[in-house]
A and B are shown apart, each in its own frame.
Chain A
Amino acid sequence: MNLARFRKPLRHVVLAALVLSLPLLYAAAVTLDHAGLTVGAVAFTAAACAVAAAAY
């Protein structure tokens, strides 16, 4: 699959994902202090970072 054509739109998606990561991480780990949601929020952030590495 040619990743190059998806790179430009993916960059905006990565930004949106990072912007979302802060409330997700905070809500899961601090406000709700829920173990499962916290693992999910960390996984979401990891996915955002992995996509960032691919998109830039």
Chain B
Amino acid sequence: MMAGPDLTLLNWFLAAAPIVLLVLAIMRLRWSAPRAGGLSWLAAAALALWVFGNSYHGVAVASAKGLSLALFVLTILWASVYMYNLVERTGGIDAIGRAMARAASDPLTQALLIAWGFASFIQGITGFGVPVAVAAPLLMMLGFPPARAAAMVLVGHGWAVTFGSMGSSYYTIQLVTGIPGEVIGPHMALLFAPVTIASGMLVAHIHGGLRAVWRSLPLVAPVGAAMAAATWLMADLGAPQIASSVPGLIALAAIPLGGRIGLVRPEPAPTAAPASDAQPAQADVPAPEGHRMSFHLGFMPYYLLIGLSVLSQLTPVRDAALNLSWGLDYPGFLTDTGYAVAPAAGYAAIRLLNHPAPLIIISVAASMAALALAGYWKRGAGWEAVRLTYSQSLSTTVGVGTMVMMAVVMADTGLTALLAQGIAKASGPLFPFVSPFIGALGSFMTGSNTNSNVLFGVLQTETARSLGVGQVTIASIQSVGASVGSSMAPAKVLVGAALVGLAGREHLIMRLTVPYVLALVAIAGLTAIVLVELIPEWTR
């Protein structure tokens, strides 16, 4: 077991204080993210310095690492917001919205298509918050309320994170635990099955409560099963890097088809719909006057982004761009409690052809050139989009910066590990149920499934070994919990808030998203504990 602060009840509660402060401030007190984040960093730094034996040097290094990590996330946010504003200014979003409304005329089918299918597909290809940045504004364009649009996308794509971004989180859990891919891949894919199907149901629930779940069940059940089967097949065939994008593609094809053949039960009489929550999703989006842009031209930046993302994953391109990156090197250090932080070379490096921001910028530049040639370019649209992007991203930028600093200060003082150790120790025979919550805690803190797997992968398998529980199952369920848990990470929620115009009112999205995400984590935990108890020979 790694050294660090002693696991006592007092230490555990003190270690939890910055997170409790953050969550209470946002969800109960309705504070903005920068205010909650700023105070949480102050609390984390004070605890690190004066209670848990970290030095000023350690806090400074950890805070700088946090800002480096925030820069990694924020460059995606800035580029995504700019892309959206520019596409919107040139009429592209209007064209996309009209086409999406034609593909699925029923609001419930639209919600499933965009928040569950499209967002998962985008996660499979790019990840790092891009699904929220791309899909949430589309839902808003169709008339969905902003907080609900963001929450649906956050909940709908969470299952796709581990195998998304071309499998980066999946490869990480494999590396840190040393479990071969052919063993953990199909095992984890099966554990994802209930979560994948439940994600679709929960998107329907966010849209219209239990009635919408019931209406969509004939569509969600078979499509979800097909997506889960495709995830397993890809993992079993040794192609985990496309085990999210292929199911996403299946959903993109099957959901509009299912909607057309009547798999979504018709909406009951309109008098039954609650007035404030009824989504005026537009089956017939009013056509703009004059020159109409086609869907494909409007969608061009996103086509290019998807194409470039695939291209950037090809080995020759990756090799060629290996040295085209920027990241700072950080030294390791030891706290007074003996918690060792390893040195990090090129920390949170922004790789020119492997990071979404440069790819988004290239996509935008090429698309705008094409739009200018096609006669759709509006004079001054570029600067107007810059001004709008700055004002929309200001609060989110400060919020992400302070919160990520807090998370890294906690992690580099040993507080996050202490929290996980306490949860694991207290859970005893319930450990398989609690295990995905530890994974979710890691991704909540760091905003990343990958980082959660790095933080807790070994802790989880070591605890499983000491309790005599299957290590492959626990390593898998760690990543399942981290995958869905990343959807409630403040860094991700803030990206959604900025894109749907709720910067400064993130609590509206958090309050809607967190219960659904916790429900998904609980489903993962229940799956794990049932399998461990009932089929122990399957759980390895």
- Enumerate chain A interface residues (CB-CB to B < 8 A): 11-12, 14-15, 18, 21-22, 25-26, 28-30, 33, 35, 38-39, 41-42, 45-46, 48-56
Contacts and interface: CB of A to CB of B under 8 A. Distances in A.
Q: Classify the interface of chain B: helix, strand, loop or mixed.
A: helix
B42 interface: yes
A52 B398 contact: yes
A12 B394 CA distance: 8
Interface in B401-447: 401-402, 405
Interface residues of B, number: 32
A21 B35 CA distance: 17
Contact of B45 (A21, A38, A42, A52): A42
Given A30-B328, A49-B41, A49-B42, 20 more contacts: A11-B34, A12-B394, A18-B401, A22-B71, A25-B61, A25-B63, A26-B64, A28-B60, A30-B61, A35-B56, A38-B57, A42-B56, A42-B59, A45-B63, A45-B405, A46-B45, A49-B37, A49-B38, A56-B33, A56-B38
A15 B394 contact: yes
9 contacts: A25-B63, A25-B67, A30-B328, A42-B45, A49-B37, A49-B42, A50-B38, A52-B398, A53-B34
Contacts of B35: 52-54, 56
B32 interface: yes
Contact of A30 (B39, B64, B395): B64
B60 A14 contact: no
B34 A52 contact: yes
B68 interface: yes
- Scoring A11, A12, A46, A49 by chain B CB atoms within 10 A of each residue's CB, the highest score goes to A49
A56 B60 contact: no
B504 interface: yes
Contacts of B402: 18, 49, 52
A18 B166 CA distance: 32
Contacts of B329: 30
Contact of B60 (A12, A38, A52): A38
B172 to A, nearest CB: 25
B61 A29 contact: yes
Shortest beta-carbon contacts, A-B, top 9: A52-B38, A29-B60, A49-B38, A25-B64, A56-B34, A53-B38, A22-B67, A56-B32, A52-B34
